[in-house]
């Protein structure tokens, strides 16, 4: 890497006042990063204007045309010239800067757009005539009358023509259109009573990219319909409803079951006072809430609405308004984590219904089997298939170990009342996972309910049961600590020492005993027994990083739960172990009463339920 020598100036630089055009273009660079940014600003203006219908027309990914049409309150001919001047707004006054309840408040959007595109505005107020105004090359035309229904039509042509350097950084038309679609959908979720339509009219085409009618009824029903339309048609039915409050904050929405996870964060929609945001505190809280249920490369799906008084959140942090700053970040983080975990715990053994849909879809694709496949050779070795005696009897001691040896010692041995339940009782709704009917490939339990067949992965299911039991024991009995023969001294800055000492009691609860050792060091006396011989300094430094970034640290807790997870994996029944009917039913009963038992420690499903009606449809019986 070549570093040029710093050049020392010998002339006196002159400070000059920038002209209005340059100022607007600089501001536009912050407000309008790409076509989707322009669409976002215009849609938000429409919502602030009380629109019930918003239509967006796009050409060439928004590079050559963006047109937004709404039926809001519009503007008067007198207000129109003010609307395109900097820092002029009807939404804010000097005495409510910290009480912002609208999308817009800076008065920067329209003048910024006019600085980097050819801008045309047509508008009609509630009781005024229509008016039109154009801005091109920084020059604003005079207001002239126009025929228009109430509302506004704002048209941007040749975006960034005045700043060609920015134009070079735009992606393909397809990519830019996808980003616009994301923005429109994100806003549409939070406003179910407003209709939205996005059209691509490039090259004389008229293709509807997204359309959502205005929903009716109560807000909860309207939100469910809009979320199903925008996020995923099966999202709501595979989610847990969330309603929680803490101090001055209220959280509502839906958190998907862990088995409904995705490979990206595309299905994470977060709103603060109906404003879509990408806040690191909220994103981190969601990640922490699901940390016990998902693999590292999987992401939960959520639609969350956080409500609070406007003065408790600062939305004036970044020109894009996607970042916010909370007055009480710890309260918000704690609310999100506890609300999601409580909802998932209430879900019990539920798993995503889309798993069954995928399985049925795969089966239906392969349902046309050639007749020759049915000419089975009885002399073939079929040991890999179904056992000849599907339910393994207790007497087969050579194949089946005792209940405790199999790993079921971690479970309660089934009571006689459960063991002696009749066939009809086990098929009743009080046993959602039904009655065990057999075991296939010495790994999957087949159970029958009143109207379905349940397939259980015995290792994954028991792993989750053992894991939850170990966590409960650690919670009840505390983390066992070991005294270090030679206490470890770790040097650090004084602010870091003070930051750790504030967390001293919390760290002790997790098995780490520390004290200040002078002004620039701490001394570690005790560590968790579970962690054995580990790099204490590395853990301490990781904890400090988390405290600096998030205000709290889960590093030690994550290390402990990671070990418990491994213990649960090694201590649970393995694939290839035969179970008798009593053991299989015991596993099903324990799953029904254990939180989070619908997925294993890595986020994979522990069972799939196939409805009888779907199975009959596969065989053409319905």
Residues 327 and 467 in one domain: no
Cβ neighbourhood burial of 362 (10 Å; 0-12, 13-18, 19+):
exposed
Report which of residues 570 and 158 the model is more confident about: 158
- Averaged pLDDT for residues 195-209: 93
pLDDT digits 0-9 by tens, 139-178: 899 999 999 999 999 999 999 887 887 888 899 999 999 9
Cβ neighbourhood burial of 170 (10 Å; 0-12, 13-18, 19+):
middle
pLDDT at 58 exceeding the cut of 90? yes
- Averaged pLDDT for residues 569-581: 88
Query: Are the beta carbons of 575 and 458 closer than 8 angstroms?
Result: yes
Between CA 597 and CA 150 the distance in angstroms is: 55
The per-residue pLDDT of the chain, averaged, comes to: 83
Number of domains composing the chain: 3
Q: Which residues are bridge partners to 531 per DSSP?
A: none
Residues 553 and 448 in one domain: yes
Residues 341 and 329 in one domain: yes
120: left (phi over 0), alpha (psi -120 to 50) or beta: beta
Q: Give residue 362's pLDDT band: very low, low, confident or very high (50, 70, 90).
A: low
Q: Give residue 17's pLDDT band: very low, low, confident or very high (50, 70, 90).
A: confident
Helix 458-477 to helix 581-593 angle (10° resolution) is: 50
Of 167, 258, 113, 216, residue with least CA distance to 267: 258
Residues 268 and 160 in one domain: no
CB burial readout 191-205, b (16+ within 10 A) else e:
bbebbbbbbbebeee
- Residue 63 inside a domain? The answer is yes
Residues 137 and 100 in one domain: yes
Instruction: State the pTM of this model.
Output: 0.78
Of 31, 551, 545, residue with least CA distance to 326: 551
- Residue 337 inside a domain? The answer is yes
Structural domain containing residue 267 = 231-347
Proportion of the chain above pLDDT 90, given as a percent: 52
Residues 442 and 495 in one domain: yes
Residues 512 and 568 in one domain: yes
Between CA 598 and CA 351 the distance in angstroms is: 5
Report which of residues 516 and 417 the model is more confident about: 516
Residues 522 and 569 in one domain: yes
120, two tokens: 């045309």
Chain-centroid distance of CA 524 in Å reads 37
Taking only Cα atoms into account, the Rg of the chain, rounded to an integer number of angstroms, comes to: 31
Residues 181 and 260 in one domain: no
Between CA 516 and CA 520 the distance in angstroms is: 8
DSSP 11-44: S-----PPPHHHHHHHHHHHH-SSHHHHHHHHHH
Residues 482 and 585 in one domain: yes
Between CA 149 and CA 229 the distance in angstroms is: 29
- Averaged pLDDT for residues 272-278: 93
Between CA 111 and CA 106 the distance in angstroms is: 11
Residue 243 is part of a domain; what is its CATH number? 3.30.230.10
- Averaged pLDDT for residues 366-371: 48
Domain boundary pick from 320, 347, 374: 347
Residues 45 and 171 in one domain: yes
Of 535, 547, 526, 539, residue with least CA distance to 478: 526
User: Looking at residue 366, what is its pLDDT?
Assistant: 53
């Amino acid at each position: 890497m070549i570093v040029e020598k710093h050049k020392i100036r010998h002339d006196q630089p002159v400070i000059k006042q920038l002209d209005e055009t340059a100022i607007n273009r600089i501001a536009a660079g912050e407000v309008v990063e790409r076509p989707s940014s322009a669409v976002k600003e215009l849609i938000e203006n429409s919502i602030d204007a009380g629109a019930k219908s918003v239509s967006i027309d796009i050409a060439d990914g928004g590079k050559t045309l963006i047109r937004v049409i709404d039926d809001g309150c519009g503007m008067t001919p007198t207000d129109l010239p003010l609307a395109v001047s900097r820092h002029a707004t009807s939404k804010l006054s000097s005495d409510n800067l910290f009480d912002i309840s609208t999308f817009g408040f800076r008065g920067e959007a329209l003048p910024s757009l006019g600085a980097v595109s050819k801008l045309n505005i047509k508008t009609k107020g509630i009781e005024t005539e229509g008016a039109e105004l154009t801005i091109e090359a920084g020059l604003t035309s005079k207001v002239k009358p126009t025929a228009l229904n109430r509302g506004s039509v704002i048209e941007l042509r040749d975006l960034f023509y005045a700043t060609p350097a920015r134009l070079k950084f735009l992606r393909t038309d397809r990519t830019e259109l996808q980003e616009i679609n994301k923005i429109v959908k994100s806003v549409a979720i939070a406003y179910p009573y407003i209709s939205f339509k996005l059209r691509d009219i490039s090259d004389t085409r008229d293709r509807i990219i997204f359309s959502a009618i205005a929903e009716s009824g109560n807000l909860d029903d309207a939100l469910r319909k809009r979320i199903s339309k925008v996020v995923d048609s099966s999202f709501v039915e595979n989610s847990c409803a969330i309603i929680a409050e803490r101090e001055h904050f209220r959280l509502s929405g839906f958190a998907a079951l862990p088995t409904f996870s995705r490979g990206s964060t595309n299905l994470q929609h977060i709103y603060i006072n109906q404003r879509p945001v990408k806040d690191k505190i909220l994103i981190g809280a969601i990640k922490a809430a699901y940390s016990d249920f998902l693999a590292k490369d999987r992401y939960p799906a959520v639609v969350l609405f956080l409500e609070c008084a406007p003065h408790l959140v600062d939305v004036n942090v970044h020109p894009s308004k996607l970042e916010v700053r909370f007055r009480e970040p710890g309260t918000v983080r704690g609310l999100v984590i506890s609300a999601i975990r409580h909802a998932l715990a209430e879900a019990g053994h539920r798993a995503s219904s889309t798993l069954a849909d995928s399985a049925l879809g795969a089966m239906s694709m392969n349902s046309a089997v050639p007749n020759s496949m049915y000419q089975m050779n009885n002399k073939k070795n079929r040991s890999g298939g179904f056992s000849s005696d599907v339910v393994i009897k207790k007497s087969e001691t050579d194949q089946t170990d005792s209940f405790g040896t199999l790993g079921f010692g971690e479970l309660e041995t089934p009571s006689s009342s459960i063991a002696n339940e009749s066939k009809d009782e086990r098929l009743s709704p009080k046993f959602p996972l039904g009655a065990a009917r057999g075991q296939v490939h010495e790994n999957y339990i087949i159970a029958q309910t009143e109207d379905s067949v349940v397939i259980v992965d015995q290792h994954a299911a028991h792993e989750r049961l053992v894991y939850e039991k170990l966590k409960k024991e650690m919670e009840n009995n505390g983390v066992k600590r070991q005294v270090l023969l030679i206490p470890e001294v770790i040097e650090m800055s004084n602010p870091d020492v003070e930051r750790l000492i504030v967390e001293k009691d919390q760290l002790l609860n997790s098995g780490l005993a520390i004290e200040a050792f002078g002004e620039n060091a701490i001394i570690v006396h005790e560590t968790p027994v579970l962690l054995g011989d580990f790099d204490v300094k590395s853990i301490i430094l990781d904890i400090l990083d988390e405290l600096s970034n998030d205000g709290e640290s889960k590093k030690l807790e994550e290390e402990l739960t990671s070990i418990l997870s491994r213990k649960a994996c090694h201590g649970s029944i393995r694939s290839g172990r035969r179970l008798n009917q009593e053991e299989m039913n015991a596993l099903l009963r324990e799953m029904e009463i254990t939180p989070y038992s619908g997925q294993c420690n890595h986020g994979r499903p522990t069972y799939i339920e196939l409805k009888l009606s779907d199975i009959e449809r596969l065989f053409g019986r319905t």
